[in-house]
Amino acid sequence: MAREIERSGIPVTMMCNLIDVAKTVGANRMVQTVSVPYPLGDPELSKEAEWQLRTSRVGAALDALATKVEEPTVFPSKF
Amino acid sequence: MKAIHYINQFFAGIGGEDKADQTPIFHDKLIGNSNLLNGMMPDIEVTNTIVCGDNYITNHTDEALKEIFAWLDTKEFDIFFAGPAFMAGRYGVGCGIMCKAVSERYHVPVITSMNEENPGVEEYKAVAYIFKGGRKATFMKADLTPMAAFAEKIAKGEELLPAAQEGYFPRGIRAEIPQPDGIIAADRVIDMLLKKLNGEPFQTELIIPKMEKIPPAAPVLDLSKATIALVSSSGVVPIDNPDRIQSASAQKWGKYDISKLDNLPPEQFKTIHAGFDPAAMCAVPDRGIPVDAMRYFEKQGKIGKLHDWFYTTVGTGTTQAFAAKFGKEIAQELHDAKVDAVVLTST
């Protein structure tokens, strides 16, 4: 899906757990998620810590959309 | 064994481009290069030639197949041939259409030949034995020869070797070959490593098909004015799954209105994804599709607007063909809605 949306000219940040798989299928902007069952959260964390985690990763994904890339690039997140 | 052979209007001697709308003709004798093919196979008799115009088979596929099936249903055959199509694009696609349809309906081996640049190769190599052929008709005998030799192996029940050894385009099938040449895997991998260290060429046994690369789209110039959409394969849907999206091997996607929501409340949304324990995501659906974080960034002014709809499906077991279809359809929606960029969450 990311490939076809990107092919149509709309930039996509793919948030995924298995970065190598995302690279293989041709995603160009990537942010790693926490896990498969809870990509953008963690039931073990406090509400505050989980919110920090989620906003940090989504924030990184948004920054990626505004960044020019030449090749598949993984964007780090602070939390 | 018996075989039937499909060729186009040109190789049947009917005519060129001006006769490309020719409807199917069924011959009870052999026409054109069917004779040459038949002469190459002592154990297989080519009984009939089907002729069809390239435009007719590619532009009126349903009608053409209906006519051809009605006739083929009355015939007995064990193998089906088409072409060779060389670099002729529409002929190659026509051969591919025929091979695919015959294989699906009659479950017999289907054999054709095309040049590597024929668009029929990419489209049909997974569903037919497409032998690597020459660029033009002067290769007729050379291209028919491996098609015939391979069919003879099938007729005699001989062992069929991997694509590279037989000479057809790989179909994307992996087969297990226990100890080829009696050499165990540990020895083979060390041989490979030694070759690599010595800078010699070596061939991996586990070929990963190369994916076509999509050039990165240009970045959003000003996030604070951009409309960003959420797309996801996490299977988060309204709690009654109104579009009945499948929990695995999805064949559809859905879009749902979030214009009045600041998050995805668990009373209204859940995940139907069958590929992981859904408890954590059902408890807080924003863990799968982060509407809350996106709304936060919208209020902060980091982004201009969170798009009013999110787009969702289930990623587990879903074929690349369906995923590509979903992607194309969603992309169209996004363009129509003037969305600037996408955050796509997957599991």
CA distance B175 to chain A (A): 22
Task: Report the gap between the CA of A76 and the closest CA in chain B (Å).
Answer: 15
Confidence at residue B86, expressed as pLDDT on a 0 to 100 scale: 95
* 3-state class (DSSP) for residue B112: strand
* Burial (CB count <10 Å: 0-12, 13-18, 19+), residue B46: buried
Question: Given strand B110-114, what is the order of strands in its sheet?
Answer: B25-27, B45-52, B2-8, B79-82, B110-114, B129-132
Task: Sort out which chain A residues have CB atoms less than 8 A from B312's CB and list them.
Answer: none
**A20–chain B Cβ distance below 8 A for any pair:** no
Q: Tell me: the pLDDT tens digits for B173-202?
A: 877 788 888 999 999 999 999 999 999 999
Chain-chain contact of B345 with A26 (C-beta, under 8 angstroms): no
**The pair of three-digit structure tokens given for residue B210, joined into one six-digit string:** 């190369």
- What confidence score (pLDDT) does residue B209 get? 62
Domains of chain B, residue spans: 2-166, 223-345
Q: Residue A4's closest CA among B342, B346, B248? A: B342
Average pLDDT over residues B276-282: 94
CB contact under 8 A, B343 and A6: no
CATH dotted code for B2-166: 3.40.50.2300
Does B96 have pLDDT greater than 70?
Answer: yes
Q: Do B219 and A69 touch (CB under 8 A)?
A: yes
Phi first, then psi: give them for residue B123, nearest 5 degrees. -75, -30
Q: Please check whether residue A68 touches B, CB under 8 A.
A: yes
What gap in Å lies between CA B69 and CA B314, rounded to an integer? Answer: 36
- Positive or negative, the Cα torsion across B36, B40, B45, B50? negative
Among B208, B211, B214, most A C-beta atoms within 10 A, so best to mutate, is B214
The rounded distance, in Å, linking the Cα atoms of B60 and B182 is 52
Q: Provide the residue type at B40 as one letter.
A: M
Give the global pTM: 0.59
pLDDT score, position B29? 92
pLDDT of residue B210 exceeding 90, the answer is no
Q: Which one of B303, B333, B342 makes the best mutation probe of the A interface by having the most chain A beta carbons within 10 Å?
A: B342
Q: 3-state class of B288 per DSSP?
A: coil
Please name every residue paired with B234 in a beta bridge, in sequence order, or none if there are none: B314
Over range B315-338, report the average pLDDT.
91
Least reliable range by pLDDT among A65-74, B77-86, B162-171, B174-183: B174-183
Measured CA to CA, the distance from residue B177 to residue A15 in angstroms comes to 38
- pLDDT of res. B326: 96
Give whichever of A59-68, B15-24, B176-185, B207-216 has the largest mean pLDDT. Answer: A59-68
Going by C-alpha positions, the residue among B347, B263, B237 that lies closest to residue A37 is B347
Separation between Cα atoms, residue B52 and residue B103, nearest integer Å: 18
CA A53 to chain centre: 12
Segments in chain B forming alpha helices (H): 34-39, 54-59, 61-72, 89-106, 119-124, 140-156, 163-166, 185-197, 279-283, 291-300, 320-336
Nearest to A10 among B215, B222, B334 (CB): B334
pLDDT at B143 over 70: yes
Average pLDDT along chain B:
94
Tell me the two tokens of residue B62. 């349903």
Residue A1 CA to residue B345 CA, distance in Å, equals: 11
User: Is the distance from CB of B222 to CB of B216 less than 8 angstroms?
Assistant: no
The reply to whether A9 touches chain B by the CB within 8 Å rule is yes
* Mean pLDDT (whole number) for B26-49: 96
Q: How many CB atoms lie within 10 A of CB B9?
A: 25
What token pair was written down for A16? 């995924």
Structure tokens given for B116 = 């590597």
Of B216, B222, B330, the CB nearest to A5: B330
Contact B97, B123 (CB under 8 A): no
Q: Are A56 and A15 in contact (CB under 8 A)?
A: no
pLDDT score recorded for residue A10: 97
Do the strands B305-312 and B227-232 form a parallel or antiparallel pair, or are they unpaired? parallel
- Would you say residue B217 has pLDDT above 90? yes
Q: Where are the domains of chain A?
A: 2-74
Question: Which tokens hold the place of A27?
Answer: 């995603």
Tell me, what's the pLDDT at B206? 75
- Give yes or no for residue B90 having a pLDDT over 70: yes
Mean pLDDT across B316-333:
89
Confidence tier at B62 by pLDDT (50, 70, 90): very high
> With 0-12 CB in 10 A as exposed, 13-18 as middle and 19+ as buried, what is B152?
middle
Residue with tokens 């020019």: A68
Give ipTM to 2 decimals. Answer: 0.98
Contact predicate B197/B312, CB 8 Å: no
The two three-digit tokens of residue A79, written as one number: 């939390």
Tell which phi-psi region holds residue B86, choosing left (phi > 0), alpha (psi between -120 and 50) or beta: left
Shortest distance, CA B332 to any CA of chain A (angstroms): 8
Distance CA B282, CA B295 (A): 20
- Asked if A59's CB is within 8 angstroms of B346's CB, the reply is no
In sequence order, the 6+-apart residues with CB closer than 8 A to the CB of B73 are none
DSSP B209: P
Task: Convert the pLDDT of each residue in B244-269 to its tens digit.
Answer: 999 998 999 999 999 999 999 999 99
Question: What's the CA gap between B308 and B344, in Å, rounded?
Answer: 15
Cβ-based contacts of A68 with chain B (< 8 Å): 216, 218-219
Is residue B73's pLDDT more than 70?
Answer: yes
C-alpha–C-alpha distance, residues B189 and B195, integer Å: 10
Taking the CA of residue B6 as centre, how many other CA atoms within 13 Å lie in the half-sphere pointing to its CB? 34
Query: How high is the pLDDT of residue B208?
Result: 65
Measure CB to CB from residue A1 to each of B215, B221, B326 and give the nearest one. Answer: B326
Residue found under tokens 């996490």: B234
Per cent of chain B over pLDDT 70 is: 99
